[in-house]
Amino acid sequence: MKDRTKPLSFAGKQIKLIQISPHIYIMLKYFLITIIAVTFHQSINTQAASARPNILFCISDDQSYAHTGANGDPVVKTPGFDKIAKEGLRFINAFCDAPTCGPSRSSILTGQPIWRLEEAGNIHSTLPAKFITYTKALEEAGYAVGFTGKGWSPGRLEPGGRTVNPAGIRYEGKKLSTSLKSVSKNDYAANFEDFLKQISSNQPFCFWLGTYEPHRNFEKGSGLKDGKDPSKVIVPPIFPDDPIVRNDILDYYMEIEHFDRMVIRAIKTLEAIGKLDNTIVVVTSDHGMPFPRAKASLYDDGTRVPLAIRWPKGIQNSGRTINSFVNLSDLAPTFLEASGLRPPKMMTANSLMDIFKNKQLNERTSAFIAMERHDGCRKGGKGFPSRAIRTKDFLYIKNHEPDRWPAGNPDREYCARYIPFGEVDSSPTKTLIMNGKNKPNTKLFYDLAFGKKPAEELYSIKSDPGQLINIAENPTFNSALKRMRTLLNKHLIKTKDPRALGLDAPWDYYPYYGLRRNNNWKVDKKPNIKK
């Protein structure tokens, strides 16, 4: 047999290898190549894993855009939000997808508008497991995922096929001692620290820090007790300028500041362990303030939210103010893309990575908002279905059932919680406006908050920023009305809204898992419609 060995030169000497066949030689050659390749890719993947950004998502419960220091409020103190805005990006046209807790949080998690989420379009419902969340995608990609406080809520997970909150694994062990009686005893920031201690130091993480504040009920008089000046409060034009309103807003500010202190502590924790600069820190709220004509309405006080994002390693030209219109659902594909993952096709929202890189690919001129059933406050569990588009010039709202009471039935017998106008949380401001129904100086505010709405609403943002005067029937704005109507319908059809497509819209008949104080209230069974 022919000698197939070849001399190998090493350190000036020739070494003769053992005799092997050509086939074995080739096999060994490719085996070694494979080993080298795998080792190389593993090394790259390890490096990529260590470079992937962490995510700290801080979300308050019921806070309007205006109520941060960075956004111009002269009374409320929000150094945490202000820091993130100054060192990152401050969005001045950020809108929730729905002005109600559960649906808004469902959109944030899934990157989809509520009309694509079936039961999750209603509050006190469920989030079907078939809808992919960014948290689950990150977990499958090796991220540690957890939350504290209010994650996806309120509702029941089991009917949707879930056993774990979509926000992650719950961390609730640490409690807080505070003089403010109305706030949760959950020490959100300390529970974030616990989460970090329980994960590997080199593992990327995604944490949801969700406070229950500033959700009602507030501690009455806490703002005055803290030394806040009611005369400095900027009263929104949708409320009467009354001491009751001013002091109610001060009490609301106290809970915003509680949330912000948690943000500050979480930031300091990241600084202490050297992970702040490679962490995407987001500070926002699920929707607007818990006041009449704000929360559970499609006007700016209910839908426009504070949003600041900091990520030095991923954001170019930090300190910018972003005028582009964005929805909170845009965060889901953003988190995935920033982490090196491709967002699933079902996510219809738009990643913000182009804004981060200061290379905006598409002009973002509109935000879209929707409502189905907020609370059980109409006979048979009916909601107030509506859709809206907001641009820099106009707010257009399409109300699908204008005969229904938009804030809930005035008769509490029709409300599961047994309160009149059940879409609106009970409060001193609500009581004041309700009592002013027949008073000349306050009737306007009653009608704005509780009165019925026409099928279409149109508001000029420049001349009427409080959205008080509906100009939909003003001939001067016919062209604007048609344009906004067309833009909204085009988007709804593109994203397959059943109502826009003339399909079955079952939100009025989905189960309601919320609080019932009225035992006579129930959801109607869906009627059988013969084709």
DSSP state of 326: E
Q: Which pLDDT value is given to residue 50?
A: 55
Report residue 212's pLDDT band, with 50, 70 and 90 as the boundaries: very high
Mean pLDDT value of segment 260-276: 98
Helix, strand, coil % (nearest 5) of the chain? 35, 15, 50
**pLDDT score of 46 more than 50:** no
Split into its structural domains, the chain has a count of 3
| d(C-alpha 73, C-alpha 232), whole Å | 9
Lowest mean pLDDT among 19-33, 260-274, 280-294: 19-33
Strands (E), 385-425: 386-390, 394-399
pLDDT digits (tens, 9 = 90+) for 49-91: 458 999 999 999 999 999 999 999 999 999 999 999 999 999 9
Whether 109 is in a domain gets the answer: yes
Whether 107 is in a domain gets the answer: yes
The label of the residue with tokens 């059932």 reads 401
Whether 52 is in a domain gets the answer: no
pLDDT digits (tens, 9 = 90+) for 226-251: 999 999 999 999 999 999 999 999 99
Q: Which pLDDT value is given to residue 107?
A: 98
Do strands 307-310 and 89-91 pair parallel, antiparallel, or not at all (unpaired)?
Answer: antiparallel
Same domain, 222 and 93: yes
Average pLDDT of the residues of the chain: 91
In the chain, the percentage of residues whose pLDDT exceeds 90 is: 88
Indicate the Cα dihedral angle 153, 158, 160, 161, nearest 10°. Answer: 130
Report residue 528's pLDDT band, with 50, 70 and 90 as the boundaries: confident
Q: Closest Cα partner for 426 from 239, 217, 279?
A: 217
Determine how many CB atoms are found less than 10 A away from the CB of residue 259.
27
Sign of CA dihedral 477, 478, 483, 488: positive
Same domain, 352 and 415: no
| d(C-alpha 63, C-alpha 328), whole Å | 14
Q: Closest Cα partner for 472 from 488, 487, 455?
A: 455
Report residue 3's pLDDT band, with 50, 70 and 90 as the boundaries: very low
Report residue 514's pLDDT band, with 50, 70 and 90 as the boundaries: very high
Same domain, 418 and 385: yes
pLDDT digits (tens, 9 = 90+) for 148-175: 999 999 999 999 999 999 999 999 999 9
Q: Which amino acid does the sequence have at 461?
A: I
Q: What angle do CA 218, 221, 223 make, to 5 degrees?
A: 85
DSSP state of 215: P
Same domain, 420 and 454: yes
Same domain, 309 and 398: no
Same domain, 408 and 272: no
Cα 484 off chain centre by: 25
Same domain, 355 and 382: no
Same domain, 165 and 270: yes
Q: Which pLDDT value is given to residue 36?
A: 35
**Could you list the residue range(s) of the whole structural domain that residue 238 is in?**
59-366
| Secondary structure class of 483 (helix, strand, coil) | helix
Same domain, 429 and 295: no
First-to-last alpha carbon distance for the chain, in angstroms, is 85
Mean pLDDT value of segment 244-269: 98
CATH classification of the domain holding 184: 3.40.720.10
Same domain, 13 and 128: no
Whether 501 is in a domain gets the answer: yes
pLDDT digits (tens, 9 = 90+) for 126-142: 999 999 999 999 999 99
Whether 50 is in a domain gets the answer: no
- For residues 479-492, one letter each, b for 16 or more C-beta atoms within 10 angstroms of the residue's C-beta and e for the rest, the string is ebbeebbebbeebb
| d(C-alpha 402, C-alpha 118), whole Å | 22
Q: Which residues contact 385 (CB under 8 A, 6 or more apart)?
A: 371, 372, 399, 400, 401, 499, 505, 507
Report residue 529's pLDDT band, with 50, 70 and 90 as the boundaries: low
Lowest mean pLDDT among 40-44, 144-148, 459-463: 40-44
Whether 45 is in a domain gets the answer: no
**pLDDT score of 7 more than 50:** no
- Long-range contacts of the stretch 27-33 (C-beta < 8 A, 24+): none
Which residues are registered as beta bridge partners of 8? 15
Mean pLDDT value of segment 464-484: 98
| The domain boundary residue, chosen from 345, 366, 387 | 366
Q: Which pLDDT value is given to residue 397?
A: 99
Question: Is the separation of the CB atoms in 269 and 196 below 8 Å?
Answer: yes
Question: Is the separation of the CB atoms in 35 and 47 below 8 Å?
Answer: no
Say which residue, 373 or 8, is predicted with more confidence: 373
Same domain, 13 and 74: no
Determine how many CB atoms are found less than 10 A away from the CB of residue 337.
16
Mean pLDDT value of segment 103-130: 98
Q: Which pLDDT value is given to residue 470?
A: 98
**pLDDT score of 389 more than 50:** yes
Q: Which pLDDT value is given to residue 362?
A: 75
Same domain, 343 and 400: no
